[in-house]
Amino acid sequence: MKKIAIVGAGYVGLVTGACFAQKGNRVTIIDNNQEKINQLLEGTIPFYEPHLDTIVKDALAKKTINFASTIQEALSDNPAFIFSCVGTPSLANGAADLSYVENVAAEIGTHLQQHAIIVNKSTVPVGTAVKVHNIIASKLTERGVTISFDVASNPEFLKEGDAVNDFLMPDRVVVGVDSAHAAEALYDLYKPFLTTEKQFLVMTPPSAELTKYASNAMLATRISFMNQLAHLADKLGADIHQIKHGMAQDRRIGAHFLNAGIGYGGSCFPKDVAALVQMGMEQHYPMTLVKEVENINHVQRIWFSHRISTHYGPALATKTAGIWGLAFKPETDDIRSAPSIDVIKKLLEQGANVIVYDPVATENIKKIFGNHISYADNSQQVLQQADFLVLLTEWEEFTKAIPSQCLQLKDKVVFDGRNCFNPEDMQALGISYYCIGRNSNAPYDKPMSNQYVFTSHSDANIW
What integer pLDDT is reported at residue 185 of this predicted model?
Answer: 98
pTM value? Answer: 0.91
CATH at residue 221: 3.40.50.720
Residues 351 and 422 in one domain: yes
Residues 130 and 219 in one domain: no
Residues 104 and 120 in one domain: yes
User: For residue 136, what is the enclosing H or E element?
Assistant: helix 128-143
Distance CA 177, CA 181 (A): 9
Residues 105 and 240 in one domain: no
Tell me the per-residue pLDDT of 341-361, one tens digit each, with 9 for 90 and over: 999 999 999 999 999 999 999
- Annotated catalytic residue within 268, 406, 420, 435: 268
Tell me the per-residue pLDDT of 204-241, one tens digit each, with 9 for 90 and over: 999 999 999 999 999 999 999 999 999 999 999 999 99
- Integer distance in angstroms from the first to the last C-alpha of the chain? 49
Residues 266 and 129 in one domain: no
What integer pLDDT is reported at residue 243 of this predicted model?
Answer: 96
Q: How many residues does the chain have?
A: 463
Report helix, strand or coil for 30: strand
Please state the rounded mean pLDDT for residues 1-28: 97
344-309-386 Cα angle (round to 5): 60
Residue 39: CB atoms within 10 Å? 15
Tell whether the model's pLDDT for residue 321 goes beyond 80. yes
Tell whether the model's pLDDT for residue 444 goes beyond 70. no
Residue where one domain finishes, among candidates 204, 238, 263 = 204
Q: How many CA atoms lie within 13 A of 395 on its CB side?
A: 21
What integer pLDDT is reported at residue 440 of this predicted model?
Answer: 55
Residues 91 and 116 in one domain: yes
Residues 150 and 261 in one domain: no
What integer pLDDT is reported at residue 242 of this predicted model?
Answer: 94
What integer pLDDT is reported at residue 439 of this predicted model?
Answer: 74
Residues 92 and 235 in one domain: no
Residues 255 and 336 in one domain: yes
Host domain of residue 429: 212-463
**268 in active site:** yes
Residues 240 and 126 in one domain: no
Count of domains forming the chain: 2
Residues 176 and 263 in one domain: no
DSSP assignment letter at 438: S
Tell me the per-residue pLDDT of 396-411, one tens digit each, with 9 for 90 and over: 999 999 999 999 999 9
Residue where one domain finishes, among candidates 175, 204, 233 = 204
Residue where one domain finishes, among candidates 172, 204, 236 = 204
Residues 144 and 217 in one domain: no
